[in-house]
């Protein structure tokens, strides 16, 4: 659900208002936007430390909800599902801290936060290993057709149609990593162990890495048969992976995206897949989530997940711990962990 569709009764009852005030006297108030998945899992434990304002339980537009509680909101806990825009920031003028449940902060207007003196913290590289595992899993699935073979067997086609089409091996493949941050590095380590040939592009060359570096995505695509997208979504990377890059990658090319959907021109990707101008894709993220191009649904060479690469029981527990620590630090006027600005 879009965060702008959340509602609250237009006139909260006196009992509700009294409850908010009384709880706020005992516990710091935190506005939750999203809500983050970790909040769903750990709401009861979170609520032992903080009083949460939850707009999705409301029946009026979000901006009215914000206006209602504008004087008491000094901290926000959000997820990428609900961008923190200039308009939202204007509606909560007392805000001083945003804690996001993600590594990426492209959904937050950092320029406006800095202008208003609002601190922002993320969860750092806490998801790196889980996301890297998922990237490798998606790649193996596309190459070996695991999900498609699973559907084949469960549909009783093995007996009726005989042998299943052959897949492809992973070892020895030429793989280009787009963005050599903590996730990209974890992906590289895993695929290097599989005997893959790794090269990369990034904002800057990493002096400590021996993998070949290419400053431009087009050069990387020309040297590889698989691209794994691990970079942040910025003005410079939006639609960086377009039809030109895909055609350079070639008919045997595979694209894995566990970063942000907007890095790929999704229309170009659909066209190239339908025309068999690339061989396949493994996708955890999409340009207009939760909307996914229906043209991809029947393609056995496309494996999809619902933006879930980072989420494991272990990662959720670690996120819970770091969110509580940061909110405690903010309300105690102590240094924040993993602050962005």
d(CA 323, CA 165): 47
Out of 51, 107, 173, 260, pick the active-site residue: 260
In this structure, what token pair is assigned to residue 74? 């000094």
Contact 234, 245 (CB under 8 A): no
d(CA 101, CA 124): 10
Is 266 annotated as catalytic? no
Residue length of the chain = 341
Can you give the pLDDT at residue 17? 41
Q: 117: which residues sit within 8 A by CB, 6+ positions away? A: 96
Can you give the pLDDT at residue 81? 86
Is 271 annotated as catalytic? no
Is 307 annotated as catalytic? yes
Q: What is the pLDDT of residues 13-37, one digit of tens each?
A: 333 343 344 444 579 999 999 999 9
d(CA 89, CA 63): 10
Mean pLDDT (the chain, rounded):
92
Contacts 24+ apart (CB under 8 A), 45-52: 45/320, 46/320, 46/323, 46/324, 49/324, 49/327, 49/328, 50/327, 51/20, 51/23, 51/24, 51/26, 51/27, 52/77
Three-class SS of residue 267? Answer: helix
Q: What is the pLDDT of residues 244-279, one digit of tens each?
A: 999 999 999 999 999 999 999 999 999 999 999 999
Q: What is the pLDDT of residues 144-197, one digit of tens each?
A: 999 999 999 999 999 888 889 999 999 999 999 999 999 999 999 999 999 999
Out of 64, 112, 219, 289, pick the active-site residue: 289
d(CA 72, CA 119): 17
Can you give the pLDDT at residue 117? 97
Structural domains for the chain: 3-126+313-331 (3.40.50.720), 128-304 (3.40.50.720)
B/e letters for 259-291, b = 16+ CB within 10 Å, e = fewer, are bbbbbbbbebbbebbeeebbbbbbbbbbbeeee
Given the DSSP bridges, would you call strands 119-121 and 97-100 parallel, antiparallel or unpaired?
Answer: parallel
Q: 176: which residues sit within 8 A by CB, 6+ positions away? A: 199, 200, 201, 214, 220, 221, 223, 224, 226, 227, 228
């Amino acid at each position: 659900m879009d965060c702008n569709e959340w509602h609250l009764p237009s006139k909260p009852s006196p009992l509700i208002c009294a409850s908010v005030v009384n709880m706020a006297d005992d516990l710091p108030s935190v506005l939750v936007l999203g809500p983050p998945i970790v909040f769903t899992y750990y709401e009861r434990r979170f609520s032992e430390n903080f009083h949460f304002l939850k707009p999705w339980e409301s029946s009026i537009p979000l901006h009215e909800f914000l206006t209602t509680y504008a004087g008491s909101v000094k901290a926000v806990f959000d997820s990428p599902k609900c961008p923190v825009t200039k308009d939202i920031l204007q509606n909560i003028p007392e805000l001083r801290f945003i804690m996001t449940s993600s590594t990426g902060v492209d959904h937050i207007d950092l320029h406006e936060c800095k202008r208003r003196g609002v601190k922002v913290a993320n969860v750092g590289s806490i998801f790196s290993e889980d996301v890297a595992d998922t990237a490798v899993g998606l790649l193996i699935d596309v190459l070996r057709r695991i999900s498609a073979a699973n559907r084949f067997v469960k549909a009783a086609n093995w007996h009726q149609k005989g042998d299943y089409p052959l897949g492809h091996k992973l070892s020895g493949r030429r793989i280009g990593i787009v963005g050599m941050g903590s996730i990209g590095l974890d992906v590289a380590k895993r695929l290097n162990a599989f005997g893959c040939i790794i090269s990369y592009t990034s904002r800057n060359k990493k002096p400590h890495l021996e993998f070949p570096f290419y400053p431009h995505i087009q050069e990387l695509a020309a040297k590889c048969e698989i691209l794994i997208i691990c970079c942040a979504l910025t003005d410079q990377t939006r639609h960086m992976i377009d039809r030109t890059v895909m055609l350079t990658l070639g008919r045997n090319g595979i694209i894995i995206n566990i970063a942000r959907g907007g890095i790929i021109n999704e229309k170009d990707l659909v066209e190239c897949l339908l025309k068999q101008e690339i061989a396949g894709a493994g996708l955890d993220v999409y340009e207009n989530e939760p909307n996914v191009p229906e043209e991809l649904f029947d393609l056995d060479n496309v494996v999809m997940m619902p933006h879930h690469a980072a989420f494991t029981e272990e990662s959720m527990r670690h996120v819970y711990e770091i969110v509580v620590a940061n909110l405690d630090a903010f309300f105690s006027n102590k240094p924040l962990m993993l602050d962005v600005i």
